[in-house]
Amino acid sequence: MLCSALAFCQSPTWPPGGTTPSPYAISLDGGRFLPSTKRWNLVWSDQIVPNWVSAAQVEFAAQNYVGTQKIFANQVGQFRQFNSNFLCLSYHLAVGLNPADNADCPLPHGNPGENPIGVVTPAGYVGEYATHFQPWLAVQGIAEGSPSFEQMFQHYDLPDQAHRVWHHDPYWLMNLADANWRKYQSETTISWMKGNQNEGTFFDVAVETYAYFYHPRSNDPTGFNWWQAPHGPVGFVGQFPSPDAFAPWQNQHYLPYFQKLYTDFHAGANDYLVMPNVDQLVTTVYDPIWLDGDANGETVDGAMMEGFGDYTGFDMWLTLDRSVRHLTGRGKALIAQWYASGAAERLRRTGMYMLVKNENSYLNIQAGDVSWWPEYEIDLGEQSPIPTHLDALRVAGSGWESLWRRDYAQGMVLCNTADTPISYGLPAGDWFEIETSGGGPVGQNGVPPPSVVSLSDAPSPVIVAASGCQIFSKTNTTANHEAGKKVEKFRAYTKASANLIQVELVLNEAGRGFFELCDASGRILQQFVAGELAAASHFIDLETCHLPAGIYVLRFKSRHYEAACKMCVY
């Protein structure tokens, strides 16, 4: 007989049974690790500030998310009260520096006035230029206005302040080849990570610097692109007539710059993660091969892809192909982020993510608050190994106009990057298509909204829509279990005086499983792994002090069987 007492919190925990380390070899402060996503879809959220949400929402995020970014050490500590492995990234522009005030950058730019854009550092929410950059210059003996100072900035045509390149935010584009800028970026971000007890830095806007928001450009008052002939970067001998000519120069500058950051981030007793934001990787003429590193060293630990899945057709293929070649197929971490949308689009993008994810890949369906979506709870069992190139996953079509398949222990994902539908015959056996509904913001009380992962019979062949994704399960968990063969008795009854529900589970065959406690609408409130259970009677006491009065359903599940019973909390 196995007897154990289990206390329920108001917040559920994800994944069932807790996290385990991924294979990514890294030594983070406090013994923390990148959690394995070999089976589960885990969530690495954008900025969640405890001051902006309720205490119950903080607890929910801590117990259900992998991490967040851009918060102070005391705020990180609030999450780690509930999850000691909760991760946090610092934030810095990848290749930029905010000016002392916004008016320093020429027009056009988006943030008006004379106030700086604030950054989260151990010193507070401050302007970086005055609080960090100028003191660093003084320590280094670099006078503002000196040649050494001006060389830290990226210029076109002439190396003076009037010829600096700027971004629309605004910020100054910095000279990635300059040793002083590399030193400042490395030393400053490491100091911020240590001071705010962070595990890495999110380097934002690590994209091509001929992009739309960099100036001068052809549609602003200057009337020309800063990089394009007859203009061009200071020090470059030659001309760039087009973006595809500029792309190799871009890669040549990003490569040693990020190698310097990576080397410094991994030089101490603790490693720190280099995590740039590379957007969707869809620029046709610019393939960011700098992400791969070279014989001189690595460049990144992974990357966030903001707007993952924003595009269809050829560009959808570029996102998937480059995700595998530069990140997941190389063992690097991936944070696939997009903004909340309807159920069909969320499922399509989740399918894209599940096609290319490795064992340290994470989701972030960003809604601007603490939220929970049914796509996070899709469970197909363990994923098959990710190849080094997307081509290994092609099952129909050719080139970018193809159908791609990724297998899981209990299912598979199909993604079609062609502009036309593709028919595909499913393998032998019973297959069920996954659909999702519900989800959204988590309540102030820390309780997520109802969300459902449902299954329906899948015909064969299936027609995968143009730029569509479909997710299939091999097992219908609501109909195909043979509970009578292994679960002889499963019941629950209230012990009101002790605020307990006692569960009796009688197995006539040993098995490994887990329990789910659900509310009347089917929303999973709590999950925990039961482990290996002998063929015997088992009694488990569930503490109900945190559960409102009502009807609940307790399920016992394994890969091959399921049993359920109702119970009341008074």
Cis peptide before 170 (omega within 30 of 0): yes
**Where are the strands (E) in 291-386, listed by range?**
302-306, 333-339, 361-366, 371-372
**Cα 119 from Cα 16, distance rounded (Å):** 36
- Which amino acid would we find at residue 348? R
**Cα 415 from Cα 298, distance rounded (Å):** 31
**Taking the domains of the chain in order of start, what are their residue ranges?**
87-355, 483-569
Please spell the DSSP secondary structure of 45-68, one letter per residue.
-S---GGGS-HHHHHHHHHHEEEE
Cis peptide before 230 (omega within 30 of 0): yes
**Cα 512 from Cα 505, distance rounded (Å):** 13
**Where are the strands (E) in 292-410, listed by range?**
302-306, 333-339, 361-366, 371-372, 394-398, 401-408
Question: What's the Cα-to-Cα distance from 439 to each of 41, 63, 65, 264, 454, rounded to whole Å?
Answer: 15, 17, 15, 41, 13
C-alpha dihedral sign at 374, 380, 381, 386:
negative
Query: The domain 483-569 is classified under which CATH number: 2.102.10.10, 2.60.40.3080, 1.10.3720.10, 3.90.550.10?
Result: 2.60.40.3080
pLDDT at residue number 494: 61
φ, ψ for residue 344 (rounded to 5)? Answer: -65, -40
pLDDT at residue number 477: 43
DSSP 230: T
**Cα 334 from Cα 328, distance rounded (Å):** 7
pLDDT at residue number 557: 73
For tokens 């990710």, name the residue: 386
**Cα 569 from Cα 550, distance rounded (Å):** 5
Residue 68 gets the label, from left (phi > 0), alpha (psi -120 to 50) or beta, of: beta
**Cα 85 from Cα 103, distance rounded (Å):** 41
Q: Could you tell me if 467 and 404 are in contact, meaning their C-beta atoms sit under 8 angstroms apart?
A: no
Question: What's the Cα-to-Cα distance from 389 to each of 36, 357, 424, rounded to whole Å?
Answer: 21, 12, 22
Q: What residues form DSSP beta bridges with 472?
A: 412, 433
* Chain mean position to CA 526: 23
Q: Could you tell me if 80 and 88 are in contact, meaning their C-beta atoms sit under 8 angstroms apart?
A: no
* Element housing 563 (H / E): strand 562-569
DSSP 103: G
C-alpha dihedral sign at 511, 517, 521, 522:
negative
Residues contacting residue 318 through CB under 8 Å, at least 6 positions apart: 280, 281, 282, 284, 311, 400
Token pair listed for 483: 């509970």
pLDDT at residue number 521: 66
The arrangement of strands across the sheet holding 2-7 comes to 2-7, 537-543, 500-507, 487-495
pLDDT at residue number 480: 32
φ, ψ for residue 150 (rounded to 5)? Answer: -65, -30
**Where are the strands (E) in 150-265, listed by range?**
166-167, 171-173, 200-204, 214-215
Cis peptide before 216 (omega within 30 of 0): yes
pLDDT at residue number 553: 81
Residue 284 gets the label, from left (phi > 0), alpha (psi -120 to 50) or beta, of: alpha
- Which amino acid would we find at residue 230? P
Q: What is the pLDDT along the chain (570 residues), one digit of tens a residue?
A: 223 333 333 345 788 778 999 999 999 999 999 999 999 999 999 999 999 999 999 999 999 999 999 999 999 999 999 999 999 999 999 999 999 999 999 999 999 888 889 999 999 999 999 999 999 999 999 999 999 999 999 999 999 999 999 999 999 999 999 999 999 999 999 999 999 999 999 999 999 999 889 999 998 999 999 999 999 999 999 999 999 999 999 999 999 999 999 999 999 999 999 999 999 999 999 999 999 999 999 999 999 999 999 999 999 999 999 999 999 999 999 999 999 789 999 999 999 999 999 999 999 998 778 999 999 999 999 999 999 999 999 999 999 999 999 999 999 999 999 999 999 999 998 899 999 988 999 999 998 888 888 888 899 999 999 999 999 998 644 333 333 446 667 777 666 555 677 778 888 777 666 777 787 666 777 766 566 677 888 887 766 656 777 777 888 876 455 777 777 676
Q: Could you tell me if 546 and 8 are in contact, meaning their C-beta atoms sit under 8 angstroms apart?
A: yes
SS3 233: strand
Query: The domain 87-355 is classified under which CATH number: 3.10.450, 2.50.20, 3.40.720, 3.20.20?
Result: 3.20.20
SS3 558: coil
β-strand 371-372 against 440-441: which pairing, if any? antiparallel
